[in-house]
Structure 1
Amino acid sequence: MSRSTSALAATRTWVEDFVVAHDVCPFAGRELRRGTIRYVGVAADDWPTALTTLIEECRRLDGTPDIATTLLVLTSGVDDFDDYLDLLAIAETLLIDQGYEGVYQLASFHPDYCFADAEPEEPANFTNRSPWPMLHLLREADIEQALVHYPDPEAIPERNIAAMQRLGRKSLADQLTALRKFPE
């Protein structure tokens, strides 16, 4: 199994067994059931290629309303969280430069994700930890539409943090580590 295939399989499992199972994103279950999540693997060793793929995925979403969201799984090149953050900053600027500000939003996930105001070992970080680094493209119009029908959307982050604290750092870390051990 190739590294890309392993990374995509681990990401699919993470979406099902972590994001949906723990209701981290209250909207992911619906998209999973509908089959509207697109998974794309790309090496980020060559940032221009990875960023070109990001814009290609924006264009694909532009022309394919049946795809709700794209998870761009970065299979190599940004294992270091600081490198990932540098790529993320460029990706966000690129979306603006390409006219996608207000159209698409990037959500960020990384195995070592750490919020700016958090200690690395805090369970809250696991709300944005994934088996592989990724850029998650979401349509802003879809987010707005979903939030209209969701009671108290402002409470989602606090609810997620509480859930991560209940699960505990060791359990969360073990789940994530298990997903990274897909055969290559």
Structure 2
Amino acid sequence: MESDEQVLADTRRWIEKAVIGLNLCPFAKAVYVKNQVRIVVSHARHLDAFLDELDRELLLLRDTPAEQIDTTLLVHPTLFPDFEVFNDFLNVVDDVVAEHELEGVIQVAPFHPAFQFEGTAPDDVTNNTNRAPYPTLHLLREDSVERAAESGDDADTIVERNQQRLRELGVAGWQALLQPECGQ
């Protein structure tokens, strides 16, 4: 099992090189440079414990001003090795958001090392738009997403641009992008 420091380093490298570096999320840089992105490494040994952590993180995000924490990444390096299990679990995540009456307040975006969009082949480079080093739930404030969207492109334009960017980069380019630099 990798150390928390390694998980955090890999996650930060992904954010800096892919999410921000390729501008996959045009809203990420502003909150990242202001240290408003909370990254939590989960050690839950089973789904119930992970759901307890999700509960805590949703409520913390709800109750904390955006100037302190604008978004949260809940990362679990070992609980979801299988993408299909993770993908099925997202239905439970939606139920948890609803139970806390946070629909329209917080949305959850999924990321997984083997993420695969419906209708794509596993090796389709465009799947990388939702691939992270570890299974990750990205908790986003709806109002922050709306404010960011008002000042830029709509979601469909961003998705199309990201897919084109990844096609140009190719699988080898994606892999090279996320390699640790010497000394890391």
Alignment TM-score, normalising by the size of structure 1: 0.90
After superposition, give the CA deviation of every residue in 1:39-60 in whole Å (9 maximum; x if it has no partner): 0011353111111111111111
Mapping of residues 18-167 of structure 1, within 5 Å: 18-65=18-65, 66-167=68-169
Q: How much does 1:125 deviate?
A: 0.3
Task: Return the alpha-carbon distance in structure 2 between the equivalents of residues 83 and 111 of structure 1.
Answer: 13
Structure 2: distance between partners of 1:50 and 1:154:
31
Residue ranges of structure 1 left out of the alignment (5+ in a row)? none
Deviations 1:19-75 (A, max 9, x none): 100000001111111110000011353111111111111111122112010000012
For residue 170 of structure 1, what is the aligned residue in structure 2? 172
Distance in 2, matches of 1:96 and 1:36, equals 24
Q: Which moved more, 1:43-52 or 1:65-74?
A: 43-52
Q: How many residue pairs are counted as aligned between the two chains?
A: 180
* CA–CA separation in structure 2 for the residues paired with 1:172 and 1:101: 34
- Give the distance between the partners of 1:87 and 1:18, measured in 2 at CA: 25
Unaligned runs of 5+ in 2: none
1:7 equivalenced with 2:13 (yes/no): no
List per-residue Cα deviations over 1:102-153 (Å, max 9, x = no partner): 1110001000000011111111000000101100000011111111111444
**Aligned counterparts of 2:162 and 2:9: Cα–Cα separation in 1:** 24
Asked whether the equivalents of residues 4 and 75 of structure 1 are also in contact (C-alpha less than 8 Å), the reply is no
**8 Å Cα contact 1:19/1:28 also seen in 2:** yes
Structure 1 residues 2 and 170, CA, compared in 2 at 3 Å: closer, same or farther?
closer
Aligned-CA RMSD value: 1.9
Report the TM-score when normalising by structure 2: 0.90
Q: Is 2:8–2:41's contact at 8 Å kept on the other side of the alignment?
A: yes
Q: 1:90 and 1:151 mapped to 2: Cα distance?
A: 30
Counting aligned pairs with the same residue, the percent is: 35
Structure-2 separation of matches of 1:93 and 1:152:
27
Take 2:140 and 2:58, find their aligned partners in 1: how far apart are those partners?
9
Q: CA deviation at 1:90?
A: 1.0
Q: CA deviation at 1:2?
A: 5.1
CA distance in 2, matches of 1:81, 1:134: 11
What SS class does the counterpart of residue 168 from structure 1 fall into? helix
Q: Distance between the aligned counterparts of 2:43 and 2:119, measured in 1? A: 29
